[in-house]
């Protein structure tokens, strides 16, 4: 079946190099047409979103995938800053983390997360997750544009 996905931009904030590599492989494996960018932590995510420093030419993403446990600025801090910034607060932010803590889930939704997803184990499950996320966020729903 041909994909009907419109070109879109996704940014993943993730500090684990192995997870980043698996995510990139999963995106490639599903035949995604999305532009997939990776930043190493919440601080770099905000620089990317605000087009600061090395990210001066960054495209505004249609979707942010955000890990919670990262150095410099964790996912909670980054989500808070995104939701407090009038130019960024409408961005869909999906929490993508190893946590399955009820406290973390509740806190993220209270802070304005669009979704909360616990990272699956294994490449096939991660590939299926990315296919589902791509289908939902780019084929099914309408996201704000810049």
For the stretch 5-44, pLDDT in tens is 457 899 999 999 999 999 999 999 998 888 999 999 999 9
Beta bridge partners of 39: 13
Is CATH 3.90.580.10 what the domain over 9-140 is classified as, yes or no?
A: no
> What global pTM score does this model have?
0.92
Q: What is the reported pLDDT for 146?
A: 58
From residue 22, give the alpha-carbon distance in Å to each of 18, 27, 36, 92, 126. 6, 9, 13, 22, 8
Return phi, psi of residue 9, to 5°. -120, 130
> What would the 3-class secondary structure string for the chain be?
CCCCCCCCEEEEECCCHHHHHHHHHHHHHCCCCCEEEEECCHHHHHHHHCCCHHHCCCCCCCEEEECCCCCCCCHHHHHHHHHHCCCCCCCCEEEEECCCCHHHHHHHHHCCCCEEEECCCCHHHHHHHHHHHHHHHHHHCCCCCC
Angle between helices 123-134 and 17-29 (to 10 degrees): 60
Q: What is the reported pLDDT for 78?
A: 98
Half-sphere exposure of 77 toward its Cβ, with a 13 Å CA cutoff? 12
Q: What is the reported pLDDT for 101?
A: 93
- Which residue carries 């079946």 as its tokens? 1
Domain boundaries, the chain: 9-140
Q: What is the reported pLDDT for 1?
A: 34
Q: What is the reported pLDDT for 3?
A: 41
Profile the chain (146 residues) by mean pLDDT over runs of 10 residues. 60 94 92 91 97 93 96 96 97 95 97 96 93 93 78
């Amino acid at each position: 079946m041909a994909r009907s996905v419109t070109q879109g931009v996704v940014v993943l904030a993730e500090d684990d190099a192995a997870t980043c590599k698996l995510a990139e492989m999963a995106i490639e494996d599903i035949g995604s047409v999305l532009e997939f960018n990776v930043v190493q932590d919440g601080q770099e995510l905000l620089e990317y979103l605000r087009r600061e420093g090395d990210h001066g030419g960054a495209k505004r993403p249609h979707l942010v995938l955000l890990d919670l446990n990262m150095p410099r600025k964790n996912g909670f801090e980054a989500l808070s800053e995104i939701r407090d910034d009038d130019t960024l607060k409408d961005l869909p932010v999906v929490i993508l983390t190893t946590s399955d803590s009820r406290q973390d889930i509740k806190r993220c939704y209270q802070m304005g997360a669009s979704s909360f997803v616990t990272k699956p184990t294994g490449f096939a499950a991660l590939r299926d997750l990315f296919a589902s996320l791509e289908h939902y966020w780019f084929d099914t729903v309408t996201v704000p544009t810049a």
